[in-house]
Each structure stands twice: as C-alpha cells, then as structure tokens.
Structure 1
Amino acid sequence: MGSLDKPTFSRSPSASNTTPASSSGRPRSLSCANIRSLSSSYSIVATQPVVTWHDYVHVLLMESGNVARAAIHRTKDGVSLASTDDLDLSYEQVQLLLQGFDDSTRLRKEGIWLGHEHFTLTRITDRRIMVGRDARTGAGCVIYRCVTCIIVACYEDGNHPGGCYSLITKLGDFLVDSGF
C-alpha cells in the first residue's frame, strides 16, 4: 500500500493575488495571524492513496504470511473483486457461503467448499465470521461477511490459525466501518 501523497494546495477563488510576505519581500514568520491569513487564502486538499481490491488481497493479506490464498467477492452478485490465482470461487459457492451466515444447517452437513477444497464448518460468530478446518491436512479458512462484499482466506497447516483470523477480522471490520 502506498504512503499518503503530499497535500496539494490551491488558492481559493476569493483570495487576493498577494503572497504572505513582509514588506522586504521575505516570507513572514509564522504566527497565529499569519496562519489565519494563509488558511483564508489557500485550501488544503489531502489526496488519499488509491487502494484497490487487488492491493487488499495481494499486499495486505498475502504478504502477511498468515494467508495462503484469498478472495474478495461482491455479495449482491458474487462477482470476484480480487483473488489469488489459486482460489477460484464459483457463483454458487459464494451464494452458499452468504446463505450459510443466515442458516448454517447445510454448511454444517455438507461443509464449506472453496474452489476444490473442502473444510468442515467449525464456527460462526455474530453472523459475520465463519471458520472452517480440514482435519486431514490441518489447513483452514476464515470468511468474513461485510455489507457489500465477502472476504475469503485460507491458511495452510503450519500457519497459526489465529494470525489469519485476526487479519481477516481486522480487514472486515475496517471495510464495514468504511461502508463496505
């Protein structure tokens, strides 16, 4: 993720063409009065870095070392917003996950299918976080339902499940707080 860009300054339309300088032409020292004068002449516009869905998956999740595969899909139509090459969820799989948050009966019987991987549903928390585990391999998954998207992450045996869980819940909470 990029660092914050430098703020840009633009002269407000009502500002005069004079610059804040002393009669000698040198810049005035900053005082409260000078700062008020500057703030009425210029508006500060902070530009935010552009973070893409790809950045969330490939930079934040994958580079953490806690996630082996990840995907983010829209909740309304199941379209993939970003994913790693090795986690391809079908529309039906996304819909089953979303339905499972409201009624987990089917997922508890049949398990969670993510691409070609099968996990046993072990926990649903607050109808927002779902956890699955493959007892045979030790791998697992964490799924977080936001309002407009669903985050899916898988970890391998040898990774601490808590690292994946913590990372996904923090990202999910951030996205929900941001309106997603």
Structure 2
Amino acid sequence: MSWQSYVDDQLIGTKVVTDALICGHDGNIWAASPKLQATPQELKKMIDSIGNSDVLAPSGVVLGGVKYMYLSGTDRVIRAKKDKSGIHVMKTTQAVIVARYDDPIMPEQCATVTEKLGDYLISVGY
C-alpha cells in the first residue's frame, strides 16, 4: 500500500478525519490530503517538540499557518485544538501521522483512527 493510500483510505476514508498527512521524522511529507498545507519546517518543529509540554504549552502547535492550542500529549502523541477543530499527531518508529478534524467530528473519533494506524505502522516497523 502506498503512503497516499494510507492517507486517503485509512484516515480520510473513515470520515472522522478531515485532512491528514504522513511525514518522516525530518518533516518531509510522504503523503498528504490536498487541503492540508503544512510546511516541512512546521512539521519538524512539531516533531521535535513531541513529549515536551514545556515547549508546546506556551507556544501551541502550528500547522498550515494555523496555531492550535496544545491540550495534552505523551512521548508519541500531541493533542491540540482551535475553536471547533483540532489536530491529533502520532509519532511512530519512522513516521509521523498528522490528522486534522472539524466539527461535528469528535476529537476521540479522530484520535482512535490516528492511533490505530500508528500502532499498525509501529507493528510493521514504520
């Protein structure tokens, strides 16, 4: 399966993810939905901050020029929101999945789909 298929079928196709991308730990985008305009620099900054709430809490998370308020995270996950939309980010062994959702999608729905794909990628070495 191609990286674009993961974005189109496993994320966007679930109807609980509005936009998504998969990139490497260096921020270079492997596949993305057309409306998600993130830069490698934004992604690299986000990836380097995963697990560091001291950096994320005061500065938030910027994706596609939009600043999201950091909600919570772990050493693999970032949760952030802006108004009635938000992002869920999961870092795997070699990749990072970034999923964005809009109202009426619930954050938990987007999180479940994102983390399920992330766990699968980890299980196959990505």
TM-score by length of 2: 0.94
Q: Of the two, which has the highest radius of gyration?
A: 1
For residue 131 of structure 1, the aligned residue among 67, 71, 79 is 79
Correspondence 1:112 to 2:58: no
Q: How many residues align?
A: 126
What is the CA deviation profile of residues 120-155 of structure 1, one whole-angstrom value per residue up to 9, with x for unaligned ones? 110112x00110011xx2111100001111000000
Q: Is there any run of 5+ residues in structure 2 with no aligned partner, and where? A: none
Structure with the bigger percentage of helix: 2
TM-score by length of 1: 0.67
What is the CA deviation profile of residues 60-104 of structure 1, one whole-angstrom value per residue up to 9, with x for unaligned ones? 1111110001000011x3211100111122122111111211423
Q: Relative contact order, CA 8 A, sep 6+: which one is greater? A: 2
Counterpart of 2:50? 101
Runs of 4+ residues over 3 Å off in structure 1 = none
- The secondary structure found in structure 2 opposite 1:108 is helix
Alignment partners' CA distance in 1, 2:106 and 2:58? 26
Counterpart of 1:90? 39
Alignment partners' CA distance in 1, 2:88 and 2:16? 11
Q: How does 1:14-163 map to 2 (within 5 A)?
A: 51-75=1-25, 77-125=26-74, 127-134=75-82, 137-163=83-109
> What amino acid is aligned across from residue 85 of structure 2 in structure 1?
A
- The secondary structure found in structure 2 opposite 1:121 is strand
Alignment partners' CA distance in 2, 1:107 and 1:119? 10
Alignment partners' CA distance in 2, 1:158 and 1:128? 26
Q: Is there any run of 5+ residues in structure 1 with no aligned partner, and where? A: 1-50
Structure with the bigger percentage of strand: 2
Q: Is the 8 A contact 2:80 2:88 kept in 1?
A: yes
Alignment partners' CA distance in 1, 2:96 and 2:15? 21
